[in-house]
Amino acid sequence: MAAIIYYIRTLGEYRDQYLKTDVLLLIHIFENFRENCVASYNPAHYYTLPGLTWNTMLKHKVSVANRHGFIIFIERGIRGDLSQYFSNYAQANNTYMRSYVETVIIFHVLQCE
């Protein structure tokens, strides 16, 4: 394989070439990943890899889903400790808020940057 020589004169040209190379490499890797995945699941339809993994596991373990051990496995995995909310807007409802409503579930919002 022959090496490609780029005649780059400025930092902007270097940045542009780096971005093109990076994007093309990422496209190649993702397309290869899509080809190697299970035929019925397209990774581009999932936001995260754990979602794809979960659906794939459920597809292959459908016969196990009715067993008592599988139900116990699922129940032990439910924690409810932390919930992530990805949005530009979140509304809290707790006793520290001026707009607190007692009939609505109490929500605390923590912003981390």
Q: How confident is the model at residue 36 (pLDDT cuts 50, 70, 90)?
A: confident
Overall pTM > 0.75: no
Domain ranges of the chain: 11-77
Give the C-alpha separation, 5 to 46, whole Å.
38
**How confident is the model over 57-111, as pLDDT tens digits?**
777 666 555 667 777 777 777 765 555 656 677 778 888 888 888 888 877 777 6
Least confident of 18-32, 45-59, 74-88: 74-88
Give the C-alpha separation, 77 to 79, whole Å.
6
Q: How confident is the model at residue 12 (pLDDT cuts 50, 70, 90)?
A: very high
